[in-house]
Amino acid sequence: MGEGRRIRDVLLQPPMDESVEVSGWVRTRRDAAGLSFLEINDGSCLANLQVVIEQDLINYATEVRKLSTGCSVRVEGAIVPSPAKGQTVELRARAVTVIGWADPRVYPLQKKRHSFEFLRSVPHLRFRTNALGAVARIRSILSFAVHRFFHEQGFLQVHTPVITTSDCEGAGEMFTVTALEPEQLCRSNAFADDFFGRHAGLTESGQLQAEIFALSHSRVYTFGPTFRAENSNTSRHLAEFWMVEPEMAFCDLDGNMAVAEAMVKFLVTEVLEQSAEDLALFERFIAPGLLDRLQHLRDQPFVRLTYTEAVSALERSGKTFAFPVQWGNDLQAEHERYLCEEFAGAPVIVTNYPEQIKAFYMRLDDDERTVAAMDVLVPGIGELIGGSQREERLDVLTRRMLAAGLDLEEYGWYLDLRRFGSVPHAGFGLGFERLVQFVTGMQNIRDVIPFPRTPGNAPC
Ligand code: 4AD
Ligand code: MG
């Protein structure tokens, strides 16, 4: 064990006529006169390896002829050119060891295609299928590429806390973390007796803590899980999702947009270069036109619009939207999608939103009606990134925090960053699952994260 080769390596550089050992899970078995064919897959790539097993093998009748989808096997043999269509090489077995059986009467995955909805009911097995297996590989490629992008640009990685006492987005969507018993929670001021001596919760964003490091190390990023008790049962919302959050000192909104655009282009380019086989699967079965969309994003500049320009484009569209378009209202997914899919035909960065619909930390513009916010919108998804230049002026920030009803004492550390050596700074958050959705064309966000948490759903 452990000596075997990954199927991906065997297929990329076939070790012709060498003796090899390969392990994996049976996708299908087909029998012909005096021999059987197994398609096996080990998750290293989309393609299966065809194994040819002759009837003179010692366990042919007793075991090989009983193998079914989902069984795990180890095969020793020689890699030879395949005479048949469909693969260039195959593995001629000298020995087949059954590692684990999977009773076909109860194993939930069969050769046929299953719906994504059905696959969500078997979260522990669904990544053995072609589409979900490809999602997992692309997610991993993207995650690594995020770190590579920032590393190559000299950003410092910061591990921001999962448990926090700061409510970053201030939308009342923080999950409480408590060590109290349910009956103790009913007492007034209960959290004073709680584990941290005050109310704590799961982070909604690492931004505020990343700002601390931006103001000591200039260019930093954090990439971790974030949580929102948001009761949105949509194909774009999760209660637990991963966010990529850079934060840059000596940086304004223009600099912020440039980093966001460069990062998204870098990530898409990485996947185009490294995941061609998996992308072809999505193009063929899930999202026709996907490759064009990705190449277009890579090659074209993002379109930049102020919120005010976006609202007038929506008003002039002649479309009827479910949510009314009016200066001062937040943009809804339908508006966002119109802007990038029809109006611009490209990703769009919308900037300078009304102050009253955005978070307290965003820098107030000179007109005092808007803030230096930016949302990056992409076709098929809508909002992929939300960010802003941060308010670095102590007096303005204090005023906005009071207006937002925040306790200035609890955020003393945040104000200190403006009191001592304050500098213009900016950052953003990219929803990692929305990126995986965009890159794969997967419709439902629940299918691009291994263990989706949504209202009423956290099975394992
Ligand atoms: O726009 P949001 O709420 O921004 C922030 O949290 C900032 N503090 C980030 C920053 O400036 N450092 O969230 C950022 C992104 C969104 O654009 C979206 O892609 C994703 O996170 N997102 C979600 N993804 C899945 N499920 C949810 N419930 C999400 N909420 C936000
Ligand atoms: Mg947002």
pLDDT tens for 54-106 read 999 999 999 999 999 999 999 999 999 998 888 899 999 999 999 999 999 99
Lowest mean pLDDT among 103-112, 166-175, 229-238, 250-259: 166-175
Atom of ligand 1 nearest to the CA of 430: 15
CA distances from 439 to 278, 379, 414 (A): 11, 11, 36
Q: What is the mean pLDDT of residues 348-361?
A: 97
Label residue 174 exposed, middle or buried (CB < 10 Å: 0-12, 13-18, 19+): buried
Percent of the chain with pLDDT over 90: 92
pLDDT recorded at residue 404: 92
Report the C-alpha gap between 89 and 61 in whole angstroms.
25
**How many angstroms is it from 132 CA to the middle of ligand 1?**
24
Query: Residue type for 215, please?
Result: L
Whose C-alpha lies nearest to ligand 1, atom 5?
429
Angle at 83 between CA 80 and CA 88, to 5 degrees: 60
**Residue linked to tokens 């009803």:** 405
| pLDDT higher at 230 or 9 | 9
Q: Tokens representing 416? A: 């200190």
pLDDT recorded at residue 111: 81
Select from 384, 434, 447 the residue to mutate for testing ligand 1; criterion: most ligand atoms less than 8 Å from CB. Answer: 434
Tell me the domains of the chain and their CATH numbers: 7-111 (2.40.50.140), 126-447 (3.30.930.10)
What is the per-residue pLDDT across 138-174, written as a single tens digit (0 to 9) for each? 999 999 999 999 999 999 999 999 999 988 787 779 9
**How many angstroms is it from 145 CA to the middle of ligand 2?**
23
The DSSP line for 104-120 is TTT-S--SS---HHHHH
Give ligand 1 pocket residues (Cβ under 6 A): 168-169, 205, 207, 228, 230, 237-238, 241, 243, 245, 383-387, 427-429, 431, 433-434
Angle at 116 between CA 114 and CA 118, to 5 degrees: 65
Q: What is the mean pLDDT of residues 325-350?
A: 96
CA 199 to chain centre: 29
Atom of ligand 1 nearest to the CA of 384: 19
Report the C-alpha gap between 92 and 80 in whole angstroms.
7
Whose C-alpha lies nearest to ligand 1, atom 29?
237
Pairing of strands 219-227, 163-164: unpaired
pLDDT recorded at residue 428: 98
Report the C-alpha gap between 374 and 355 in whole angstroms.
12
Report the C-alpha gap between 336 and 427 in whole angstroms.
21
pLDDT recorded at residue 417: 98
pLDDT recorded at residue 437: 98
User: Which of helix, strand or coil describes residue 31?
Assistant: strand
**Residue linked to tokens 């096996």:** 40
| pLDDT higher at 4 or 217 | 217
Atom of ligand 1 nearest to the CA of 429: 9
Q: H/E element holding 133?
A: helix 130-152
Report the C-alpha gap between 76 and 19 in whole angstroms.
7
pLDDT recorded at residue 281: 98
Atom of ligand 1 nearest to the CA of 386: 1
What is the per-residue pLDDT across 259-316, written as a single tens digit (0 to 9) for each? 999 999 999 999 999 999 999 999 999 999 999 999 999 999 999 999 999 999 999 9
**How many angstroms is it from 183 CA to the middle of ligand 1?**
34
The DSSP line for 370-398 is BBSEEEEEETTTEEEEEEEEB---HHHHH
Q: What is the mean pLDDT of residues 380-394?
A: 97
Angle at 423 between CA 215 and CA 358, to 5 degrees: 90
Our CA dihedral for 153, 157, 160, 162, rounded to 10 degrees, sits at 100
Residue 34 Rama label (left phi>0; alpha psi -120 to 50; beta): left
Ligand nearest the Cα atom of residue 382: 1
Whose C-alpha lies nearest to ligand 1, atom 23?
431
**How many angstroms is it from 386 CA to the middle of ligand 2?**
4
CA 143 to chain centre: 8
Helix axis angle for 276-285 and 253-274, nearest 10°, is 90
**Residue linked to tokens 């059986």:** 101
pLDDT at 224 over 80: yes
pLDDT recorded at residue 2: 53
Whose C-alpha lies nearest to ligand 1, atom 6?
205
Whose C-alpha lies nearest to ligand 1, atom 30?
237
**How many angstroms is it from 269 CA to the middle of ligand 1?**
23
φ, ψ of residue 303 to 5 degrees: the values are: -85, 135
pTM of the model: 0.96
Are the beta carbons of 385 and 394 closer than 8 angstroms? no
Atom of ligand 1 nearest to the CA of 239: 28
Nearest to 248 by CA among 234, 237, 258: 258
What residues are paired with 292 via a beta bridge?
Answer: none
pLDDT recorded at residue 79: 95
